[in-house]
Chain A
Amino acid sequence: MEPSLGPMKMDRRSLLFILRLLSVVTLGIMQVSGPGGWQETPPLYRWIMLAYAVWVLLGWALKPKYYRKTTILVTLFLVDTVLALVLLQGLSSLYGELFLIYFVTIFVAVLAQSVSGGVAAAVLSILLYAFLQYLRTGQYFIFDADHLIRYPFILVTGVLCGFLAEEGQRDDGEKKRLRDTTNMLADKVDLATRKLIESNHSLKAMLDYHKRILSCIQTGIVVAHQDGIIKTFNDGAVRITGYLEEAVDNKNLLELPERLGPLTKALQKTLSEGKGYNLENLEITTARGEVLPVSLQTSVMRSEEGKVLGAIATLKDISLLRQMEIQLTRSERLSALGEMAAGVAHEIKNPLNAIQGFSMRLSSKVQDPSLKKYADTIVQEVQRLDTIINDVLEYSRTTKLSKKPEDFQKLVDEVVQFAEEKFEKAGIRIVREFDPNLPLVPMDYNKIKQVILNLALNAVHAMSGGGTLTFKLSVAEALGDAETPGSKDWVAHVFLNQKVAVLAITDTGCGIAPENMSKLFHPFFTTKTTGTGLGLSICNKLIESHGGTISVQSVVGTGTTFSVQLPLDA
């Protein structure tokens, strides 16, 4: 009967309500189905019956917490008992055994949940039973075994029920304590788990963070443990060496590919000697077979106690730096050359001045046509010398640019107009394809004009049998590698995705032999019988000084395209 003993968990209020309702219903049924039925029942009892029902229903309205209070339970018990008693008395005509009715009262008593409560309920029930019996039969005790046995039976039932209820409650209390302990433990475990998960998360985040640093850094990082096993080989190292992490990771230093020799040796030395090394200007051969200039730095990884745990190597690809150095050396050489050229030019130009002047003077003084021709030849040769000197000066001079936004189309038009006679003479048709959206291009107008004119005249030389010369002006997105096979300009690699104005000059001439392609922009390289071989190198220099590039594509027998790319946002 105890809530916690039943299969369904029921609180005390519900249980009590159900039992009391049962009592009300039973009494009600007895009233209705008794001899004479409801009609025969005196109105007073009907009202008492109704009051009992209302009383029980009111009990349901009471909040569960009041059911823990003894006073309230006792009140309920007493009132119930009195009401039930009165009602039973009113139903005196009934056949059934009064005795059975007292179970309802006993059940109610059980709810006191103690042995003493059970005894009290039993005693009260006995007294009531005796009283009711007296009312019926005129005597309290009917002295036959059949009746007398009922008193101890009621007592035993009350005590037993009280005991059981008390035990149940004790059980319940213990269970509750257990439950509380379990809950507390669960809470603690919960908290600990949450903390663990949190710290796990932050650990994971930190690990991830460090992993990300290792994998995103450009520098190659290789870590070898004390026993020589490679434990870290980051993406940078993969990029630089070309070896995949799987090929190296967890391998002993001795098992590394032979090509990584310098790296292996440096790590071994660092481990054995316990000090780091700094090796600039090292060369390694990558898995792809190319020789790459790198700088290699090793450091010792020590524990807090100073014990050597391993060695760390950082690898840097310095090919770009190298290129810049070469570029710098070249420009230094050029400026030295420029100074020298300027000095030499001055010294040469002074005698040339006199030679030319006197030759012209001679030419005007002599009458003999052949002598005159000799003098004129001297003048012509002096002028050729002068051109060469000017080219050298131009090439070696540090160019000062006065850049401002200019109309590239106008410039091309002017060049075409300037060389019109030459084009006509050589039977060359001019085609112009201009992108109407081309904005003004920042440039030194005269210098770029010089470049374009030079390229146009080169094209004329390449098309001795006539042809078509196309000037195509457009805007392009990037200075990509693939776009500029002839470009040696590292600037192009650094400033990718810049907007550029492109002028492509395409001829239908003889083309350039593949073996000459790489030499095109070298000073003094020429395939012509006249000229200094400085034209294209001057062009290249002027375009480079604009931050642009000049490139060439050529097919022998089909023609050549020179592309000039000038940055738009410089």
Chain B
Amino acid sequence: MDPQKYTVLVAEDEEASRFLYEEELKDDGYQVRTAENGLQVLGTLEDFPVDLLVTDVKMPDMHAIEMVPRVRQDFPELPILVVSAFKGMEDDFTLKEARVSAFFTKPVNIELLKGKIREILSSRPPKGSSRP
């Protein structure tokens, strides 16, 4: 698997965390795009081929419960990872229905997060494959 061919979209309103994910994922060789809010996520997904979405739950304009179903509607195969400050998001019915691949709780163990991303992407062909 060549991480270079995969694009990961990081959605996080907190600059420090966003920066952290970006640095870590770039270190591993992925193409990384970032978004600060829900609208940016939807826009980026429209404009660029994205292989995987890592998203925060609470963002200024949109909650993941609102955003994830919308993303799922347009990108039925896009793997989505949710990182939340709260435990128990995995029990959320809307997110379950939207087939979120994995949940992480802040402070997130970055190695586990990266491991999950690698696991998911290694079984998928890179770029654009998730586009409709």
Contact = CB atoms under 8 A, between A and B. Distances in A.
B16 A349 contact: no
Task: Tell me the dominant secondary structure on chain A's binding face.
Answer: helix
B17 A353 contact: yes
Interface in B58-114: 58, 83, 85-87, 106-111
B85 A349 contact: yes
B46 interface: no
A390 interface: yes
A356 interface: yes
Interface stretch (A357-365, A481-489, A518-526): A357-365
A354 B107 CA distance: 7
Contacts of B83: 353
A24 interface: no
Nearest to B91: A400
Interface in B9-24: 14, 16-17, 19-21, 23-24
A346 B57 CA distance: 11
A355 interface: yes
A350 B14 contact: yes
Given A350-B14, A350-B17, A361 B23 contact: yes
Contact of B86 (A346, A351, A382): A346
A342 interface: yes
Nearest to A383: B107
Interface string A338-374: 0000100110011111111110110000000000000
Contact of A357 (B20, B58, B85, B87): B20
Contacts of A390: 87
B87 A353 contact: no
A375 to B, nearest CB: 13
Contacts of A356: 107-108
A432 B98 CA distance: 46
A444 interface: no
Nearest to B113: A357
Given A356-B107, A357-B110, A361-B23, A351 B85 contact: no
Contact of A353 (B23, B58, B107): B107
A351 B14 CA distance: 8
B86 A353 contact: no
Contact of B110 (A352, A360, A393): A360
A390 B108 CA distance: 14
A386 interface: yes
Contacts of B17: 350, 353-354, 357
Given A350-B14, A350-B17, A351-B16, A357 B107 contact: yes
Contact of A342 (B14, B16, B86, B109): B86
Nearest to A349: B85
A25 to B, nearest CB: 124
B16 A354 contact: yes
A379 to B, nearest CB: 9
Given A350-B14, A354-B14, A361 B108 contact: no
B15 to A, nearest CB: 9
A116 B27 CA distance: 159
Contacts of B107: 349, 352-353, 355-357, 382-383, 386
Nearest to A342: B86
Chain B CB within 10 A, most for which of A346, A350, A382, A390: A350
20 contacts: A346-B58, A350-B16, A350-B85, A350-B106, A352-B106, A353-B106, A354-B14, A354-B16, A354-B19, A354-B20, A355-B107, A357-B17, A357-B20, A357-B21, A357-B107, A357-B110, A358-B20, A361-B20, A383-B107, A393-B86
Q: What bracket does the count of chain A residues touching chain B fall in? A: 20 to 34
Interface in B103-128: 106-111
A390 B87 CA distance: 9
Contacts of A353: 14, 16-17, 20, 83, 85, 106-108
A249 B108 CA distance: 74
- 5 nearest interchain CB pairs? A354-B16, A349-B85, A356-B107, A353-B106, A357-B20
A109 to B, nearest CB: 125
B6 to A, nearest CB: 21
Contacts of A345: 85-86
Contacts of A382: 107
B63 to A, nearest CB: 12
A144 to B, nearest CB: 151
Contacts of A350: 14, 16-17, 85, 106
Interface in A69-112: none
Given A354-B17, A358-B20, A361-B20, A349 B110 contact: no
A354 B21 CA distance: 9
A345 B16 CA distance: 17
Contacts of B108: 353, 356-357
B44 to A, nearest CB: 22
Contacts of B87: 390, 393
Interface string B1-37: 0000000000000101101110110000000000000
Contacts of B19: 354
A264 to B, nearest CB: 58
A491 to B, nearest CB: 27
A351 B19 CA distance: 12
Nearest to B14: A350
A419 to B, nearest CB: 22
Contacts of B20: 353-354, 357-358, 361
A355 B23 CA distance: 14
B23 to A, nearest CB: 7
A166 to B, nearest CB: 119
B105 to A, nearest CB: 8
